[in-house]
Chain A
Amino acid sequence: MSIKEKQIHEPLFHIAKRDALPFWLSWLIRILSVVAALIACAAVTVVLTGENPINVYATMIDGAIGTERRIWSLFQNIAMLLCVSLAVTPAFKMKFWNIGAEGQVLVGGLATAACMILFGDKLSPVILYPLMIVTSILAGAIWGFIPAFFKAKWNTNETLFTLMMNYIAIQIVSFFTYKWSVPKGSGQIGVINASTQAGWLPNIGGSPYLINILIVAVLTIGMYIYLKYNKHGYEISVVGESENTARYVGINVKKVIMRTMLLSGAICGIAGLLLVSGTDHTITRNTAAGRGFTAIMVSWLAKFNPIYMVLTSFLIVFLQKGAIEISTIYGLNDSFSEIITGIIIFFIIGSEFFVNYTVKFRESKKGANK
């Protein structure tokens, strides 16, 4: 043996990409990670509050589904997160890193708010609602299209581009919240058309949330069909697998990129519409509330499958609501709910690592080195 060979130490362990796991095993790993996350969360909560873990879980469940209003609120939040997740999914499937959903939702919301403020008492609902729908979809689509156009034309980096578009959107919203603030100079718009409710999405069956939930349900099914059975959906997955293959089989990659981002932005615009016109009835810099980023995770965890995304967004929103309840009941700061959400997300993302990679330990038959 040469000296060189002797000096090579096999590391204690190394990481290797593993073959696709059987379906049941990969899901077992994911479920176990959620269980582990819940145990870790309970441990943190017990340390901070001194409550017993069973009470902690009970409080979480109570916070999410304890009363009829909470159940509505839970499903409304799931619907909104799911809507943004649906929006980013086609782009991500195409390996176009659209992290600008936050901004696309905001401009969609701003377009809705603008229609409500400027035309709320001038136009009849027959014109106002279609105008709100069209402008919000257009605004979102344009916000999504700009980085796609630059990517297709000059191959700019879409991650940075979409991220920067978020800040531009936030600043534009800031500008208008000052411009339209009520009372003047207070820096906030407040409830738009509080007395006339012009431009508010109607309550269905007494619930202000149901219409959003229904629209998102329809969008979910639509997106599932689009990705799975439509030619566009197929083109998206081919471009995502390999742009060269796509080009080779005659797919116009640039066109697919721009078309997909138009769609992605348009759905974000709808999310903005639902948030502003359906529930919030106002716009602030924080209207999207980080959903644009959380949605990326929802979409990834569900492997870009809209039906699984219902489950992943349910999981995340359920846990968020539970964590907020714990911080309210035990008088903790609201940052606590962010800590809990952070722990859970850490575990879930960690589980994906073990699903995709395997850890190989150094085989011991060669004997101990030290």
Chain B
Amino acid sequence: MKKFTKILAILLALALVFSFAACTKTDDEGNNNGESMTADVAEKGLEDIKVGFIFLHDENSTYDLNFIKAAKEACDKLGVEYVQKVNIPESNECYEAAVDLADRGCDIVFADSFGHEQYIIQAAKEYPEVQFCHATGTMAHTEGLKNFHNAFASIYEGRYLAGVAAGLKLNEMIAEGKFTADEAKIGYVGAYTYAEVISGYTSYYLGVKSICPTATMEVQFTGSWYDETAEKEAATKLISNGCKLISQHADSMGAPTACENAGIPNVSYNGSTVDACPNTFIISSRINWAPYFEYIINCVANGEIIATDWCKGITDGSVELSAINEKAAAAGTAEKIEEIKAGLANGSIKVFDTSTFTVGGETLASYKADVDTDAAYTPDTEVISDGYFHESEFRSAPYFDLRIDGITLLNEKF
């Protein structure tokens, strides 16, 4: 301990010396709250724009592949320079990657994973002249930074439609006598237990239930966005529990592969998995990020301010359904989906219609959600009105976190 105090003393002395010697540099830190907040973005030619992308995984992840494809598509279309960093974990490495991209002269830095958000904010404070955009994040509307923006899409609409396809398949199997209507149990492999995943599986389940009213669902969580073994095991467990159809919200090919091996129909996510699962893949919903990427690039080119929260849905091309695999899907799936889609577009169908679900046996007339993220998760905004839950309207990222009846969570440790 004595030695340590000595070391500490030397250190403090050194620290003092250096802080005097380097006084002139301290103002680097302070300039992010002053003039930069008022400085407006200048116009820039498309050919001078450079966009940096930060991806959680690489092309092997269905989630990241969906982003990577859209990013390349948008950048090629508009002719802007493209830099990417893959396999960036949700840790300080994300901050390092973001400041490196800014340092490299990127005008826009985009990150694709929920856990990247705080590190992107940290970088955004340091580089006020660079626009930082983040998918699935929740903090832009409360953070008050001019150069930090969130985006998402109304993927719950896509999930609902995918659920319709799953419900039709269940009905077909019931009609074929494979199991009774009471046995219509489906399984869902989820990554974590926060709103984005809950909103996803609930909208999917409501879609299934709108077609097959006796359907129940079991959800198994993996505690990781990409863990092929865990996802495969979770799907296998659900199948052995008697689930007749599986869907997933995790990013590897684990669950679809398990379904193909067991011959259980699968509703996929983030893009078609028909190549790997030709016999069991039914349909997949995904967010098409290309419209958003084009939007932010054009904003920078035109000197316009990027929306703090951006959320578009199925009518704007931001949410898409893959081609239906006729081999696995029930007859008439395409027609039914078109019908429901039209209903969503004209507002006659609401995904989170409160008359279609109960929580603890009760129909909800009021619910306050935690829209403005804070440490204590204080519910702050009334989100049920006009008979439905207003998802993604008060901020882009989902905040539907109700545990509705009919869905059993097998493990909640995550």
Contact = CB atoms under 8 A, between A and B. Distances in A.
Interface of A: 67, 69-70, 73, 137, 178, 182-188, 190-191, 194, 203-207, 210-211, 214-215, 218-219, 222, 279-282, 284, 286-287, 328, 331, 333-335
Contacts of A187: 115, 192, 223-224, 414
Interface of B: 3-4, 7, 10-11, 14-15, 18-19, 21-23, 25-29, 58, 83-87, 89-92, 96, 99-100, 103, 114-115, 117-119, 121-122, 138, 192-195, 223-224, 370, 373, 375, 377, 413-414
A207 to B, nearest CB: 7
Contacts of A210: 18, 22
Given A190-B115, A282-B91, A183 B194 contact: yes
Given A186-B192, A281-B92, 9 more contacts: A178-B223, A184-B377, A191-B119, A194-B118, A194-B122, A203-B26, A218-B7, A284-B89, A334-B86
A286 B193 CA distance: 22
Given A191-B118, A205-B18, A206-B22, A183 B377 contact: yes
Contacts of A335: 87
Contacts of A333: 58, 86-87
B89 A67 contact: no
Contact of B15 (A182, A204, A222, A281): A204
18 contacts: A73-B96, A178-B414, A186-B192, A188-B91, A190-B117, A190-B118, A191-B121, A194-B122, A204-B19, A205-B21, A206-B29, A207-B22, A210-B18, A218-B10, A281-B92, A328-B83, A334-B58, A334-B86
Contacts of B193: 184-185
A334 B7 contact: no
A199 to B, nearest CB: 15
Nearest to A226: B3
Contacts of A219: 7
Contacts of A185: 192-194, 414
B343 to A, nearest CB: 32
Interface residues of chain B: helix, strand, loop or mixed (majority): helix
Which 6 A-B residue pairs are closest in the complex by CB-CB distance? A205-B22, A206-B25, A280-B92, A185-B193, A185-B194, A191-B118
A282 B91 CA distance: 7
Contacts of A184: 193-194, 377
A279 B92 contact: yes
Given A280-B91, A284-B90, A331 B84 contact: yes
Given A67-B103, A187-B414, A286 B121 contact: no
Nearest to A283: B91
A328 B22 contact: no
Contacts of B14: 214, 218
Contact of A211 (B15, B23, B28): B15
Contacts of A205: 18-19, 21-23, 25-26
Contacts of B195: 183
Given A218-B11, A282-B92, A334 B194 contact: no
B414 A328 contact: no
A186 B377 CA distance: 13
Nearest to B373: A183
A261 to B, nearest CB: 17
B91 A286 contact: yes
A188 B90 contact: yes
A219 B83 CA distance: 39
Contacts of A186: 114-115, 192, 194
Nearest to A67: B103
Contacts of A194: 118, 121-122
Contacts of B91: 188, 280, 282, 284, 286-287
B75 to A, nearest CB: 12
Contacts of B58: 333-334
Nearest to B194: A185
A207 B11 contact: no
B50 to A, nearest CB: 13
Contacts of A206: 22, 25-29
A253 to B, nearest CB: 23
- Most chain A beta-carbon neighbours within 10 Å: one of B21, B58, B99, B194: B194
Contacts of B375: 182
A217 to B, nearest CB: 8
Contacts of A178: 223, 413-414
B22 A191 contact: no
